[in-house]
Amino acid sequence: MNELILFFRNNSKWFMFIIYVVISCMLLFQHNPYQHHIYLTSANAVASGAYGLGSEVTSYFNLREINADLNARNAALQSEVVNLREQLDILQEKNYTDTMVTDSTMQHFRFIVAHVINNSVSKPYNYLTINKGSNDGVKAEWGVIDQNGVVGIISNVGPHSARVISLLNPNFRLSCKVKNSDGFGSLVWDGKDPSIALLEELPRHTIYHKGDTVVTSGYSAVFPPGLPVGRVITEDQNRKENFFTLKVELFADFTTLSNVQVVVNNYRAELKALEAGEKEEEEENIKNPFKQ
Amino acid sequence: MSKTLLNILLSILLLVPAQAVIFNNLILFNVAVPLVFIYVIVSLPVTLSTNVSLTIAFITGLAVDIFGDTQGVNALACTLLAFIRKPVYHLYMSIDDDLAGMRPSLRTMGYSPYMKYLLTMTLLYCFAVFAIEAFQFHNFGLMLLRIICSTAFTFVIIYAIDSLSIRQRQREKKL
């Protein structure tokens, strides 16, 4: 017994070492970012407090570019409003009957404005922290966009802050398509350049040209369809495989992110329930296929 | 002893938030990351028991991980660094020199041995961090470039911090 205690005491540094290595590895190999504990992410009170203080100072640094971006966006929206108003006038003039259908897709969505207080672009797995949390109505798995395009998806929510899985994180795949074409693929970051991502698994028949806009497909409840994401920079080429990959230059500048909007889907619960119901039905059919 | 621990605690409380708020944003050309907080581990007194230094290193690494959202990467690398700290120190200094119980620094070790010690520790740490990250990710050339650039950058900043503290001490002596 004494020898055993002596053995443990003499080799205590090895045991300590092994214990710490095992704990670190347990953290390291917890791959699903949604399962990270709130205290171990940057959305906890201490970290978000420190980042909040830091961003109080640094948020002024990029204001010039952000202003330019906002102005450009503003101009685009303004022209869109004018165009739509004209169209509306024309339609009304034509005395289109009262059954006229307006484009209602955007009415499902509401936006919460938030401020980025922590951001990284150089790690293999990047995350952001924003200064809105559950007290402001933010929930996990909601989308985040900025004035230029898609930014990420919320993974962990604290009372006053939330952690966002950045688009620059291979854990996050975004369903996208080339504008004005029907084939869709998934957008994923390859870990190299923070301004370029890959649009993978596009079907062979998809038509694209260099410079085409890539938009969200809307095949999920997270992002509304048609949100701009990036621009195709791969040259036109012959394709031999059934699926191919495009290089996409992202519209959102992740190095100067400042103000973002959280996308709130008002019909999300309904959609989820519907999908869950479908899944159950499917499982039932698999279990007893001869029920009917 | 308690004064030493207090000093260490103070350096952790200073360097970890500084790493999170300042140095994590000081990335040059998207390859050189200054991992300045390892100064905490590099400057632990040599006579400190391995168990205590392992614990300090693990907590420091975990804190940086929490701030940087790098689940366990820095905690693991810091633990490794604390474990090989003494052997690395004895590479450049003979056993008798550490009886004074001083923190390794320019003043206590001398110019050349400290440079070598610091460079070895920084290189090992950067290698560990980027290898652990790359373990989940395949980009070998970029990883190598990041290791080299980050080592150089971190080395320069820690060296600067250390020489600053020397100058301050000399000034105190004069007064």
A100 in any annotated domain: no
Q: Is A211 exposed, middle or buried (0-12, 13-18, 19+ CB in 10 A)?
A: exposed
Contact A248, A198 (CB under 8 A): yes
Task: Identify the weakest region by mean pLDDT among A31-40, A106-115, A216-225.
Answer: A31-40
Q: Hey, is the C-beta of A54 within 8 angstroms of any chain B C-beta? A: yes
Judge whether residue B168 has pLDDT over 70.
no
CA A120 – CA B25 distance, rounded (Å): 8
Q: What is the pLDDT of residue A105?
A: 47
Residues 140-169 of A with CB under 8 A from B: 163
Question: What confidence category does residue A284 fall into, taking pLDDT thresholds of 50, 70 and 90?
Answer: low
Helix (H, G, I), strand (E, B) or coil at A185: strand
CB within 8 Å: A28 and B72: yes
Residue A287 lies in a domain: no
On whether both A24 and A43 belong to a single domain, the answer is no
How many domains, chain A?
2
Longest C-alpha distance within chain B, in Å? Answer: 56
Are residues A53 and A1 both part of a single domain? no
Per the CB < 8 Å rule, is B133 touching A16? no
pLDDT tens per residue, range A17-33: 888 888 888 887 776 66
Mean pLDDT value of segment A276-290: 67
Q: What is the pLDDT of residue A84?
A: 84
ipTM of the complex: 0.72
A209 in a structural domain: yes
Check CB contact of A44 with chain B, cutoff 8 Å: yes
CA-CA distances (angstroms) from residue A190 to A9, A113, A183, B139, B147? 47, 29, 21, 9, 19
Residue B36: closest CA among B23, B45, B47: B23
- Rounded CA-CA distance A128/A117 in Å is 8
pLDDT one-digit tens code per residue, B129-166: 888 877 655 677 778 888 888 888 888 888 888 888 76
Indicate if A4 and A123 belong to the same structural domain. Answer: no
Domain spans, chain B: 2-25+35-174
**So what's the pLDDT on residue A100?**
46
Domain span holding position A10: 1-30
For residues A15, A16, A17 and A23, what is the CA-based torsion angle, rounded to 10 degrees?
Answer: 110
CATH number of the domain within which A191 lies: 2.40.10.350
Start-to-end CA span in chain B (Å)? 26
CB count within 10 Å of CB B33 equals 22
What pLDDT does residue B101 have? 62
- On whether both A254 and A146 belong to a single domain, the answer is yes
pLDDT of residue B1: 64
Mean pLDDT of chain A: 78
Asked if residue A226 belongs to a domain, the reply is yes
pLDDT at A290 over 60: no
Note whether A41 contacts B66, CB cutoff 8 Å: yes
pLDDT digits (tens, 9 = 90+) for A118-161: 888 877 788 888 888 888 888 888 888 887 888 888 988 888 88
Letter string b/e over residues A178-199, b meaning 16 or more CB atoms within 10 A of that residue's CB:
beebebbbebbbbbeebbebbb
Chain A residues with CB-CB distance to B83 below 8 A? 13, 17
Q: How far is CA B71 from CA A11, A44, A167, B2, B19, in A?
A: 28, 14, 18, 31, 16
Q: Are residues A26 and A49 in the same domain?
A: no
Please give the span between the terminal C-alpha atoms of chain A, in angstroms, as a whole number: 69
**pLDDT tens by residue, A87-129:** 777 777 666 455 544 444 445 677 888 888 888 887 778 888 8
- Residue B30 pLDDT more than 60? yes
Give dist(CA B99, CA A103) in Å, integer: 79
Asked whether residue A243 is domain-assigned, the answer is: yes
Residue A92 lies in a domain: no
Q: Do A20 and B75 lie within an 8 Å CB cutoff? A: yes
* Whole-number percent of chain A with pLDDT over 90: 0
At residue A106, the pLDDT reads 46
A148, A73 contact by CB (below 8 A): yes
Give the chain A residue whose CA is nearest to the CA of B25. Answer: A120
pLDDT surpasses 50 at B21 = yes
Same domain, A43 and A169: yes
**Which pLDDT does position A72 carry in this prediction?**
78
DSSP string, B10-76: HHHHHHHHHHHHTGGG--BTTTB---GGGHHHHTS-TTS-HHHHHHHHHHHHHHHHHHHT-TTHHHH
A15 and A42 in a single domain? The answer is no
**Does A123 lie in the same domain as A20?**
no
Is A108 inside a domain boundary? no
Q: What is the pLDDT of residue A292?
A: 47
Residue B84 structure tokens? 């090989």
